[in-house]
Amino acid sequence: MMKNIWNSILVLAATGVLVLACSKNKDDDTPPGEANTLEITSFAPLTQEVGKTVTITGKNFATTTSGNVVQFNGVNASLNSATATQLVAVVPNGDVDGKIKVTVGTETATSIKDFTLAIPEPQGPSVYVAGRGYDNSKAIAMFWKDGQVTFLTDGENEAGARSIAVREDGVVYNAGFESLNNTNQAKVWIDDDEILLTDGQNEAIANSIFLAGTDYYVTGFEEEDGRFIAKVWKNGKEYDSYTFDETSDTFGESIYVSGTDLYVAGYQVVDGYEYARVWKNGEPIYLEHINSNDARALSVYVEGDDVYVAGHEFNLDPYNYIARAWENGEVILSTDAEYHAYAHSIMTADSDTYIAGDENNQAVLWVNAEPKILSGGEKAFSVYVYDNDVFVAGYGDYGEETAGFVWKNDEEPIELLGGDGSTYANAVYVK
């Protein structure tokens, strides 16, 4: 009798286990393999600034940072840490508004919600930089405001922004060029609006822009009847009252307006030689030349009655270019010709003279003719002084690419990125 009772209990227990097992299998609706599927379930915060972190939560991430490829709207992001369920990503620079994607091996997971870039509250003045970057091997005109890139062209044609200025109300002006049927066309961009300075029939480039009240002035050059002629444009139209010697090639590189006077720095080609020139209201100002060799004036700045110019001159012995700067026509900077050296930009503040350039393939800032090497830089093209802070724009090595740089005082440079290739910074403006 007892034996039968125990047998009944064992049968019931076994039946219960079987029922439970069957019940569990019946309720498990997970398709085969889904437990190993890569997935983004959420990310936080939904909006964040460049350089700050976003935590991505999900399933089946790689447990090493190198095993995951994270993209914000197609822009690659670096990772601070990685586990199977959580990634901590750094928001990259660029057009990052949109979906976040994580790729592990051949699998890619996409976020349900969109990420939105947060624009930080201004901390002091904004730094604007004009330049170009490469995407699919084509140069794109672009500018940066506090490190955030804005594309001025779509990459269909070669283009670049060479100069920048900002109005009191924050409207941004860029001058440069875009290729049309393999011929460069001089252009101005006012925010997103494009102003054509030339018709694209002849080679032309806008090199420098200056704001004076409600007017904007541009200098550059255009090819006419087999010659290159320096040009001045006012408010998008050729400024007929400002003319240059058209018997030889002339090039406008920099423009400055002081009161009713308009200054253009550039150079003129006479009998095959280049001569540095500064024109005041169309009349040349004498610049002392230490050697009778090729020379160019690339930047002009006016303070009161004093005219400052930066450029370079060719030296025969030794066979190198020499960085030059002039104050009222007299040389105030002359490098020793041991290495190639170029002075690209000049500005004064509080009785000090600042010159940006390069020597021996190193970016240099000369302060009162004393050189200072800029960390990591190869070229320095522009200098701007604002409230005792000195800003310099140029470029240097960035991994296997080249990146536009902006330096502030003695700080390490900030990289300016955009597109999928190298970037170059040509001009800086602070407001």
CATH number for position 112: 2.60.40.10
**For residue range 355-390, what is the model confidence (pLDDT) as tens digits?**
999 999 999 999 999 999 999 999 999 999 999 999
Residues 345 and 395 in one domain: yes
Residues 67 and 171 in one domain: no
Element housing 66 (H / E): none
Instruction: With CA atoms as reference, report the closest residue to 61 among 91, 46, 81.
Output: 81
Question: How many structural domains compose the chain?
Answer: 2
**Contact yes or no for 47/117 (Cβ under 8 A):** yes
**For residue range 250-264, what is the model confidence (pLDDT) as tens digits?**
999 999 999 999 999
Examine residue 77 and state whether it is found in any structural domain, yes or no.
yes
Q: Are strands 47-48 and 116-117 parallel, antiparallel or unpaired?
A: parallel
Examine residue 30 and state whether it is found in any structural domain, yes or no.
no
Residues 172 and 106 in one domain: no
Residues 165 and 233 in one domain: yes
pTM here?
A: 0.74
- The 10 Å Cβ neighbour count of residue 195 is 18
- The residue out of 98, 117, 136 marking a domain boundary is 117
Q: What is the CATH number of the domain that holds 278?
A: 2.130.10.150
Examine residue 306 and state whether it is found in any structural domain, yes or no.
yes
Residues 342 and 379 in one domain: yes
How many helical (H) and strand (E) elements, i.e. helices and strands, does the chain have?
1, 38
Residues 81 and 191 in one domain: no
Examine residue 96 and state whether it is found in any structural domain, yes or no.
yes
Residues 319 and 404 in one domain: yes
At 26 the pLDDT is 42
**For residue range 306-323, what is the model confidence (pLDDT) as tens digits?**
999 999 999 877 789 999
At 135 the pLDDT is 82
Instruction: Quote the domain boundaries for residue 65.
Output: 37-117
pLDDT at 3 over 60: no
- The residue out of 92, 117, 142 marking a domain boundary is 117
Listing DSSP states for 193-249 in one string gives EEEESS-SSS-EEEEEEEEETTEEEEEEEEEETTEEEEEEEETTEE-TTS---TTS-
Residues 82 and 223 in one domain: no
Examine residue 19 and state whether it is found in any structural domain, yes or no.
no
Residues 290 and 329 in one domain: yes
Residues 104 and 238 in one domain: no
- The residue out of 68, 91, 117 marking a domain boundary is 117
Residues 107 and 229 in one domain: no
